[in-house]
Amino acid sequence: MADLQTIRKRLEKYILDSNHTFREVSLKIGRKDSYIQQYVKYGFPKRLNEVDRKKVCQLLNISEKELIDDELLQSGAALPPLFENDDLTGSAADFVAIDICAARPGTELRDNVVGRMVLNFAEFGSWCAGNPFSLRFIRLDGDYMEPTLPNGSLVMFDSGVCDYSGDGIYVIETGGDVQIKRLQKTAADTYALKVDSPRYQDLYHKKNKVKILGRAVFCLSGRPL
């Protein structure tokens, strides 16, 4: 039996035995330098998300089961994937894996990874020139951006663009809600949050009330053919 505290202590031992530091592990999995120490010592976050857990296990060369607590195991959320990495032909350099994030109130998008989209790198490069390490997917919930972005679409955005870089479609957070809107600067301190559907009205907010999470670069349409 392994509860959350047991899992954290187990991870700490594996890290110390591997001669890595908490900081090194955090950076190697693409997190800020204090991420693993906060998790191990203070239980924040409550548990590692699936993507971070896989990265840590690969780095430490341990089975993923070692870092799965009983509650998670019983919930079925840690069931094995439909295919293993070995089922993908070619080397790791042939593929790019992009996080799929979910918008949840009061939390960072990067902490809410619900899956990953694995794409052939050559094909990916032919239709998107972005840096794969800063790209994320988020699902559009609502029809306010139709016909440009149908309801249910997976929108790829560059999370490295956290400042306004000209008129375009952005993933933003305002009033605690994450939205996908067409952003336009109307004054030195004001943004227009524009929608493409005539059924909805544009909104106007002060710049300090709008947090830019990234700029949209591609869309996988949720509309069946």
Query: Residue 116 has which token pair?
Result: 């990953």
| pLDDT tens digits, 153-196 | 999 998 888 899 899 999 999 888 899 999 999 988 899 999 99
Per-residue pLDDT, 130: 64
Chain Cα centroid distance, residue 221:
19
Higher pLDDT, 169 or 83: 169
> Which is more confident, 81 or 68?
68
73-97 mean pLDDT: 56
The topology (CATH level 3) of 86-220 is Umud Fragment, subunit A (2.10.109)
Q: Name the helix (H) or strand (E) containing 179.
A: strand 177-187
Q: At what angle do helices 4-17 and 35-42 cross, to 10 degrees?
A: 130
Peptide bond into 224 cis (omega under 30): no
What pLDDT is stored for residue 206 in this prediction? Answer: 93
The DSSP bridge partners found for residue 205 are: 191
Q: Give the position of tokens 């067409």.
A: 182
pLDDT at residue 69, rounded to an integer: 83
User: What is the rounded distance in angstroms from the CA atom of residue 170 to the CA atom of residue 167?
Assistant: 9
- Does residue 87 have a pLDDT over 80? no
pLDDT of res. 53: 86
Domain boundaries in the chain? 4-80, 86-220
Please check whether residue 215 is in contact with residue 169, taking contact to mean a CB–CB distance below 8 angstroms: yes
Query: Does residue 224 register a pLDDT over 70?
Result: no
Tell me: the pLDDT tens digits for 4-63? Answer: 899 999 999 999 999 999 999 999 888 889 999 999 999 988 888 877 888 898 899 998
When comparing pLDDT for 64 and 88, which is higher? 64
Residue 78 has pLDDT above 60, yes or no: no
Please provide the CATH number assigned to the domain covering 4-80. 1.10.260.40
